[in-house]
Amino acid sequence: MSESMLSYVLLIAVTLILGFGTQAYIKHTYKKWSKVPISSGLTGAQAARKMLDENGLAHVVIEPIAGELTDHYNPKTNVVSLSEGVYDNKSVAATAIACHECGHAVQHARGFVPARLRGALVPAVNFAGTAWLFVFIGGLFLQMIGLIYAAIALYAATIIFQIVTLPVEFDASGRALAYVRNYGFLPAAETGGARSVLTSAALTYVAAALISIIQLVYLLARARR
């Protein structure tokens, strides 16, 4: 096996290990704590409503959404969407995830700088994420190193977006944990469970950024050759 082929195989192996490993970990942690009832007796939607109201965000709407772990906050519509296993679930995992998404709503309302920066980057990243591969293939086909480096620059822009996303996600989790702790939602044991759920979710963003950085290094090495 040639050196280039070996490096490519190693890249694929690392990518698969990081990707599937983190996904398996978050699903395991989520399922574990979704079976642990929350002592407050609140559903995910009710916990989210209380956190939003406590932060003066009564105008933010909470809606159910299909799927598993599809929870998200849309700053354009001011809607917190909670998945089927979170919206009506009275578990530690449901409360943790619901309050995490509310943390994003609080960020938006408070003008959290990294969140604003991530929002501003979205249009450019959407373009770069689609265009870089076509530019890269064009550079290979035409044997133009300039196009190849342009493609790598576009790909690097998507990595910057992923890196900016990290403090946004960590901060939202921090806000969620602070809320459930300060308002007595969860005793110590349940707070530890909520932290485990949110930590496992954060690892998926860390893994995605690491995978992209590894791929970027590989692309640069190949371009230099």
Distance CA(13)–CA(19), nearest Å, equals 10
Please confirm, yes or no, whether 101 is among the known catalytic residues.
Answer: yes
Q: Could you give phi then psi for residue 28, rounded to 5 degrees?
A: -65, -45
DSSP assignment letter at 91: B
User: H helices within the chain, ranges in order?
Assistant: 3-34, 44-54, 84-87, 92-110, 113-142, 145-182, 188-224
Catalytic residue among 54, 63, 84, 101: 101
Residue among 195, 188, 201 nearest 39 (CA) = 188
CA–CA separation, 10 and 107 (whole Å): 39
Nearest-CA neighbor of 106 among 166, 59, 160, 41? 59
Residues that are catalytic: 101
